[in-house]
Chain A
Amino acid sequence: MSPHPQWRGQRRIRVALEFSARGIRLAGMKPLEGPAVQRPFLEGSYLAEVTVGGTTAIVHSFNDPRSVRGISRPQQPGHSFTRPGTAVVYVDVPIAHEAPLGDISINVTDLSKLRQRPVDLAEVQALLDRAPKGIRAAGRITGEQLRAHPDWGALGLPGIPSAPRLGFYEIYRDREKQVRWRLRHSDGRTVAECAGPYPSRAECEADLRWMKESGSRAPVRSLDIPSPPTAAKKRK
């Protein structure tokens, strides 16, 4: 594999950005082997400028992901367009194999209101620097947001301890300062919490130990299934 001038880095983090009416949200990350590719033309109505360690590493271009197109009807040319509530685009962040990872940020810019604009990389970057009227900052994903995401620990990046994507129990104090626990799914949802506050942290910990040791294998009992109708005949 001989490097191409438009390949960036040796690995990449594929970052999923979810677009919705509320804005852009970091939806996930996954490490991929091989370089990211700087596409030669940036025609899309959105740009995602990825900076690593303060330097522009790559610029991605894509159209509004919340616009989907229907094919023409038979014998009747013309696309239809609809708009789903959310849609995801993927942005590659190029990284080196072993080098320490500089701070990453992703700036998403909406150029759809710009009447005229270039499509090649150098002029697009100059345009972003000028930030003329018509450009709209659509969203920004910071390094802090990336590091806080549950996927970050599973990326296997140099210097970052890997964390399995397990859920976890949390011990916390409620508003009355009493000890409680809750079980969080790996996606952050609370899936269980204690029935009430504990008199002490030790008793809370004891229940958590019991659940970890035996609770996960406790059988499920279904109490919501009614018995068939009774009748007069006695059991033998």
Chain B
Amino acid sequence: MISGPGAAMLDSKLFVSRLNGDFPDLYERWWDGDEWIWINHGRPASSAVTGTPGAAMLEEKLFVVVADGSLWERHWRSDLGRWAWNSHGRPGNRPIVHGPGAEMMNEKFFVVTDDGHLWERHWRNDQGRWVWNDHGTPPATTVATAPGAAMMDSKLFVGTANGRLYERAWNGTQWVWVDHGLPTGTSVATAPGAAMMNSKLFVGTADGRLCERVWNGSQWVWVDHGAPPATTVATAPGAAMMDSKLFVGTANGHLYERVWNGSRWVWVDHDTPPGTTVNAAPGAAMMDSKLFVSTASGRLYERTWDGARWTWVNHGTALHDRAEHVVGRPGPDPKLSILIMGDGYAEADMNAYRSQVTSQVLGALRLDLLLLHQGAFRVVRVDLVSVESGVRERRYNTRGTIISDVFKFSRLGLIPNDSWDRCWFDMSTFTDARIEKLRQRFAPDADHVIVLVKSDTWGGCSSVGPGTGYFTEGSGMTTVAHEMGHNLFALGDEYVSATETFTGVSRYPNTSEAPSEWNMLKWFDLVAPNTPLPTNAARPPAGWNRRTSVGAFEGAGGSYATGLFRPVLECRMNQNNPPWCPVCGRKILTDLEVFE
């Protein structure tokens, strides 16, 4: 679960508090120029963050309340080039229960403590420090909502325990309480918000209506906006835009817009985010065209105008991408470096993803002789969090026409196509750049990247040498091992599935053309004694071990039934499951030796 969205900055970031799981931390959702990503800001003094972040100032600081009710500032220290936590403590040693809100002049904002007092936190430039000012309680009642609807750098509004709206205003001499009374026939039930034109604000009421408190030029009056059709207002109003619209969450989980259309106020139903409901006040409005809501599913959703219509954008659960060295340690010593990441794994899939990495990729890297040479490797696993589980799936017919294309939004945009002659995968336009960005961030020294793709299909597609390889979960450890034989150690295929004749000179260490003299065979020193060369696969010598006895069997390189020879009858570069043969093993050891 996450708090409501708050503390929007630069039209490109906002903050939420994550309220459950292993990371009860402050999270930033940031558009990095390529995609929205989650950044974990951690928690101050090991105390879980609990409230909606707010009071963003100067595009570089915001405030959040933690579990013990104290206030913390998260501040971008440009002098240090990093974010820092600063403690603001508890006002009057009372825990904060509402706020922060009602920021003014980039130097003050307000919170509410558990005894119903309104407190101001003020940067006193003359004193060079922050101070707490106790504004006390409104007459004969206490503050019961977050402070909001700051106006003119000198007033703000709160809802009180007796259901009234109170203004706290600086009259030029002192701060005073101004009683705005009760909305007609009901009481204030939400924090005030959506201030507009320094003369109006909105509240949700106890009977589920939206009420406006507006200065009509001579006095403050209540304007009843009623309830949205067939439902009631359930959150504070927020995400005011263009001095003419605001948004609320409703009891049926919809997002509703209340907008002045030029002649009257109308309700616009934005429906529910797909598969879930709105459960907190809308916030973090940006560019008059997007806002964010938290949902019952724990996901953050964006409601955005895409140029033609309003659409929902799933931002997923607040969980950051993380990297872990799963083989070897960070360091400058050269290693055969591999970066593993997943596509289509949402937060709920992360344990399964890690298991897949262990069983398929790390399992492949521990096969046979590799187990004894783990010191040559540096393997980094990136837990890349997609906003939804699974990836886009596309299918073609035999004429190459797309017959189905089921969209899902995954981080790397890999699209399994279940087609061997289409390399099993289509790529999105951003796939390569996204992978490169992650490589630069998490493992810039990676020689090879392996991507596990969450799909039920079979498939794997890989660069011919070091580069990037993509595999679905179903492709299996031995398939990954075979491909790594190609990518990491430049081994050739030892199988044959066609009838062509090889006429060239093999560059691969484990396949060979017929040499002019068989004692010139590149692996002659490994040939079993008294072995006829070439060796007849149908009638190998007595006692022949199909996996370890080395000869020269015709047929290799995938296509060549004749003219190209392989050293053994069974090898990982042939049938995938058997271990690498002695000839492949020698090449692997030579390649790894420079990294040990």
Which residues from chain A sit less than 8 Å from chain B, CB to CB?
1, 4, 6-7, 14, 16, 30, 32-41, 43-45, 62-65, 67-74, 76-82, 84, 86-90, 115-117, 119, 217, 219-222, 224-225, 227-231, 233-236
Contacts and interface: CB of A to CB of B under 8 A. Distances in A.
A39 B591 contact: yes
Given A32-B444, A41-B591, A224-B307, A71 B264 contact: no
B497 A225 contact: no
Interface in B307-363: 307, 331-334
Contacts of B421: 70, 80, 82
A67 B508 CA distance: 17
B289 A76 contact: no
A41 B507 CA distance: 10
Contact of A233 (B264, B422, B507, B593): B264
B331 A231 contact: no
The 3 closest A-B pairs by CB, nearest first: A34-B332, A71-B460, A220-B287
A42 to B, nearest CB: 9
Interface stretch (B16-24, B107-115, B390-398, B463-471): B463-471
B331 A1 contact: yes
A116 B332 contact: no
A92 to B, nearest CB: 9
B509 A76 contact: no
A64 B465 CA distance: 8
Interface in B555-596: 558, 575-576, 587, 590-591, 593-595
Given A30-B444, A224-B307, 15 more contacts: A4-B594, A16-B436, A39-B591, A40-B594, A41-B591, A44-B465, A63-B464, A71-B461, A72-B576, A73-B458, A80-B423, A116-B505, A224-B305, A225-B305, A228-B259
Contacts of A34: 331-334, 445
B262 A227 contact: yes
**SS class of chain A's interface: helix, strand, loop or mixed?**
loop
B288 A37 contact: no
Given A228-B266, A230-B262, A70 B331 contact: no
Interface in B488-515: 490, 493, 495, 497-498, 504-505, 507-509
Q: Which of A7, A45, A119, A228 has the most CB of B within 10 A?
A: A228
B483 interface: yes
30 contacts: A4-B594, A6-B594, A7-B594, A34-B333, A35-B334, A41-B590, A43-B507, A43-B509, A62-B465, A63-B463, A63-B490, A64-B464, A65-B465, A68-B461, A68-B462, A68-B463, A68-B464, A69-B461, A69-B464, A70-B461, A71-B462, A71-B471, A77-B495, A80-B420, A86-B432, A88-B432, A90-B466, A115-B504, A222-B289, A228-B259
B152 interface: no
A167 to B, nearest CB: 11
Interface string B469-494: 00100010001001100100010010
A117 B507 contact: yes
A16 B463 CA distance: 15
A70 B594 CA distance: 29
